[in-house]
Amino acid sequence: MTQTKKSPKKFVVANWKMHGSLKQNQSLLDAYIKALSNLKHTQIVVCAPYPYLAQLQSMLGSTDIAWGAQNMAKNEIGPFTGEVSAEMLRDFGCEYVILGHSERATAYCESDENIAQKFMTAKKHGLTPILCVGETLIEREAGVMEMVVSKQLDTIIKLYGAEAFADAIISYEPIWAIGTGLAATPDQAKAMHKFIHNKIAALNVEAENRLKILYGGSVNPQNAVQLFEVENIDGGLVGKCSLDAQNFENICFAADSIH
Ligand code: PGA
């Protein structure tokens, strides 16, 4: 397997959610591989449903595109019917795992403690966690978005210290922007990314230096450059537009053009 590019300038992560089939994935991945093999400054990561990880491993194994899962068990092994462990993800070549996505946190009642434990289990097994944080529309309108995100980070800080964020990825995903076509403005994203960086830096500068923060929520080819140009936005987590090869490629080219 080709190793993930060292310290790429930007990351673009495809979050396929519960979409795909062997056949559809094959043509989508073929298109990704053809268009994205010459990116110089951007690490592409594809996060697919569990059953397709073997397909990612066989199709992406000899490319620069990395892959990962969209969830993982907090436990390492044992009688946890239906769960998938970090080591199982490693078996299929995963380097990344999305954790705490709001679609899971709300539908499956994932607590911040649960997500924090998954975060540390992922790190322990050599996976890079992509931790999703973000506020609802009501919370934004009430002006408490920083408090909400702060609390989501505090659970990890309290249990494992701010150093846990070294070499991790946070994805700021305002819940009101996910799948709605209404992305955060560059200014809104900039303010939250700055807030997160400052919060971690106040506790551990080294960890803050080694932390990447992506933006997610209705990233598309039209808004990608504006968002990715913002200081402290290290790339994007892309849902809907990652299912269309042309849209995804254009988002990746936008990221790669900024350096
Ligand atoms: P979206 O999803 O790009 O479809 O808004 C982003 C995400 O949920 O990760």
Express each pLDDT in 116-133 by its tens digit.
999 999 999 999 999 999
Q: How remote is the CA of residue 180 from the centroid of ligand 1, in Å?
A: 9
Nearest CA to ligand 1 atom 9: 239
Give residue 37's pLDDT.
86
The 10 Å CB-count burial string (b at 16+, else e) for 56-91 is beebbeebbbbbbbbbbbbeeeeeeeeebbbebbee
- Catalytic, 208? Answer no
Give residue 159's pLDDT.
96
Give residue 170's pLDDT.
98
Percent of the chain scoring above 90 in pLDDT:
92
pTM (predicted TM-score): 0.96
Q: How remote is the CA of residue 241 from the centroid of ligand 1, in Å?
A: 8
Among 139, 173, 208, 249, the one annotated catalytic: 173
Question: Does position 1 have pLDDT exceeding 50, yes or no?
Answer: no
For residues 230-238, average pLDDT? 96
Task: Give the separation between CA 20 and CA 9, rounded to whole angstroms.
Answer: 29
**Residue of 218, 242, 248 to test ligand 1 pocket, by largest number of atoms within 8 Å of CB:** 218
- Taking the CB of residue 107, how many other CB atoms lie within 10 A of it? 9
Structure tokens at 138: 């009501």
Give residue 114's pLDDT.
94
Q: How remote is the CA of residue 68 from the centroid of ligand 1, in Å?
A: 16
- Catalytic, 101? Answer yes
CA dihedral 201, 94, 44, 195 (to 10 degrees): -20
- Residue 152's Cβ-side half-sphere holds a number of Cα atoms within 13 Å equal to 26
Question: Does position 141 have pLDDT exceeding 80, yes or no?
Answer: yes
Tell me: the pLDDT tens digits for 23-52? 999 999 999 999 998 899 999 999 999 999
Give residue 225's pLDDT.
97
Q: How remote is the CA of residue 84 from the centroid of ligand 1, in Å?
A: 23
The length of the chain is 259
